[in-house]
């Protein structure tokens, strides 16, 4: 071990005396989504009704159309996010 001490000291001095190597690495920047994609999708409101003759699964025709429109808006938003995030 005593024979290695001068070698270790010499290696430390050489390592500390040399200029550090600069490695340039690209940094990923956070992408900002378009403002129209961050606006919340408005909920359809009260669409469910009490069970009755005019409603199927507690949805009357107007409520069904509102629910289908809401689901379509959500699907369009998901598709827009997927298209925007694709490389």
Question: Is there a domain that residue 6 lies in?
Answer: no
Instruction: List the chain residues with pLDDT less than 70.
Output: 1, 14-18
At residue 86, the pLDDT reads: 87
Question: Is there a domain that residue 23 lies in?
Answer: no
Question: Is there a domain that residue 26 lies in?
Answer: no
Could you tell me which residues are beta bridge partners of residue 59? 48, 56
In the chain, the number of structural domains is 1
Question: Is there a domain that residue 8 lies in?
Answer: no
Rounded CA gap, 73 and 67, in Å? 10
3-state secondary structure of 5: helix
Question: Is there a domain that residue 3 lies in?
Answer: no
pLDDT tens sequence across 46-59: 888 888 777 778 88
pLDDT tens sequence across 68-78: 999 999 999 99
Where in the sequence is the domain holding 56, given as residue range(s)? Answer: 33-87
Question: Is there a domain that residue 62 lies in?
Answer: yes
């Amino acid at each position: 071990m005593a024979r290695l001490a001068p070698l270790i000291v010499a290696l430390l001095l050489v390592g500390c005396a040399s200029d550090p190597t600069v490695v340039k690495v690209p940094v990923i920047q956070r992408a900002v989504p378009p403002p129209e994609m961050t606006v919340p999708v408005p909920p359809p409101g009260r669409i469910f009704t009490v069970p009755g003759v005019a409603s199927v699964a507690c949805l009357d025709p107007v409520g069904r159309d509102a629910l289908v429109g809401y689901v379509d808006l959500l699907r369009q938003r998901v598709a827009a996010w997927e298209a925007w995030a694709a490389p």
